[in-house]
Structure 1
Amino acid sequence: MRPRSLTLTAAAGAALLATAFLPSNASGLARGSGADADRPAAAQEGSVSAAALLAKVTSCSQISSGKYRTDEETSATVPVCGKNGAVFWKADMDVDCDGQRTSKCSEATDPWYQDDTAFHQSDGRPLRADTLPYVVVPSSSSLWNYGSAGIKGGGVVAVIYQNKVEYAVVGDTGPTKIIGEASYATAKALGIDPDPENGGTDSGVTYILFKNSKVSPIESHSAAVSLGDRLAQAFLRDN
């Protein structure tokens, strides 16, 4: 989990506000090039809509013994909720860049970079955050034990943001009292700024984790989408 600084967040917001008053070409990036060209306009994977999934998670049957913080400086407001065949939470998204070192994810781009992930590819290497959509779950504690809830490494997650659905895998673990983090690739696919230092979003992200699921191999995103779509259809039927 990336403990984003309020100072950094405010500075980033001020920079964006200033940019809004500049001419369209003043940022130095031509339309259709640079960072904007890398960001997809929308993510809709599988046949189940974001609206259909969100309609099933309007109320919470809390299964965690308490609530989580979204960042170190915030109060604990986020419960883990139970449904038939899944657990879910609604939080922010901090950007995780841990795992294989690349041009987008390294000590040079991420002050909190670590060269490993809790779960590994089929070849034994850490996951690659800039290409594989994955979600970070809180490490097991008295607050909540993800393993006891049927959640495992490589399990399928439907991540929903602004009417977009992205299927990811459970790929890493984070602090025991903080929730709301996903890989660079997850953020980028959902149209969220994937910058591991100043990116992410402060709210509006729903994470639905399907119990007793496992993508094999964990690094196959197409396998995650295929399995995720089937599990999402079952989730709608069972809830």
Structure 2
Amino acid sequence: MRIRTLTLAAASGAALLAAGVLPANASGSSGPASTQEGSVSAADLLAKVTSCSRISNGTYRTDEETSATIPVCGKNGAVFWKADMDIDCDGQRTSNCNEDTDPWYQDDTAFHQSNGSPLKADSLPYVVVPSSSGIWDYTSAGIKGGGVVAVIYNNKVEYAVVGDTGPTQIIGEASYATANALGIDPDPETGGTDSGVTYILFKNSRVSPIESHSAAVTLGDQLARQFLQNN
């Protein structure tokens, strides 16, 4: 059984600009993403995350029934973890994401579009971070809603945003659109993959507007190149 996100509703509306953020008028759409994005290869990124300098106080489980073995690791300009991928279908109700397709469906996400609406899981690639706890507080590591994430699976790179928060003791979850773009079964009840996914979250980044996937790809490619240079 897939672990569903326990969303924390965000009160804010329009995303704020921050250091390293693209302009609010950056072009792009919230449509489905391609399976290979940007100029940085999966192999080059993975070569930089072969060892872990743990920054979490403890480790996470990938599912309720598994042992806690997954640390959050620190690198220059980023944090990362290697885990599974459960499917988050929360947010705006669509034909793919609703109460009928997802037994754990919730109609909100922790972070919202620039118009104040929840995110749309089946068209926007986003990643779920564990809610802040004694294990790890994502905000203290410079991770923000709308921050850029390079998600790597099966030699493919997909750029996503931090879009939702999940259980405090479980890690490894992303939106329907993220899974679909990487060739992972996006079914919220039976899909996902048990291992092999690397999540690299770039510190102090934020895409504006959060719903612009092309803006995430542009900024993500820039940050990925900087990550290779600095590590």
Bucket of the pairwise TM-score, normalised by the shorter protein: 0.7 to 0.9
Is the 1:91–1:205 Cα contact (8 Å) retained in structure 2?
Answer: yes
Matched, 1:48 2:40: yes
- State how far apart, in whole Å, the 2-side matches of 1:193 and 1:70 are: 17
Quote the sequence identity (%).
84
Partner of 1:3: 3
Per-residue CA deviations over 1:97-124 (Å, capped at 9, x if unaligned) read 0000000000000000000000000000
SS at match of 2:194: strand
- State how far apart, in whole Å, the 2-side matches of 1:122 and 1:2 are: 29
Moved over 4 A (4+): none
Q: When the two structures are superposed, what TM-score results if normalisation uses the length of structure 2?
A: 0.86
SS at match of 1:88: strand
Matched, 1:177 2:174: no
Show structure 2 runs of 5+ residues with no match: 5-31
Of 108, 132, 146 in structure 2, the residue corresponding to residue 154 of structure 1 is: 146
Q: Which has the larger radius of gyration?
A: 1
Of 180, 202, 207 in structure 2, the residue corresponding to residue 210 of structure 1 is: 202
Matched, 1:73 2:65: yes
Q: Which has the higher helix share?
A: 1
SS at match of 1:148: helix
CA RMSD after TM alignment = 1.4
- AA of the residue aligned to 2:163: G
What is the count of residue pairs matched by the alignment? 204
Partner of 1:195: 187
Give the drift of 1:53.
0.1
Of 133, 136, 151 in structure 2, the residue corresponding to residue 141 of structure 1 is: 133
SS at match of 1:222: helix
- AA of the residue aligned to 1:110: D
The structure showing larger relative contact order (alpha-carbon pairs under 8 Å, at least 6 residues apart) is: 2
- AA of the residue aligned to 1:43: T
- AA of the residue aligned to 2:116: G
- AA of the residue aligned to 2:3: P
- State how far apart, in whole Å, the 1-side matches of 2:207 and 2:2 are: 26
SS at match of 1:171: strand
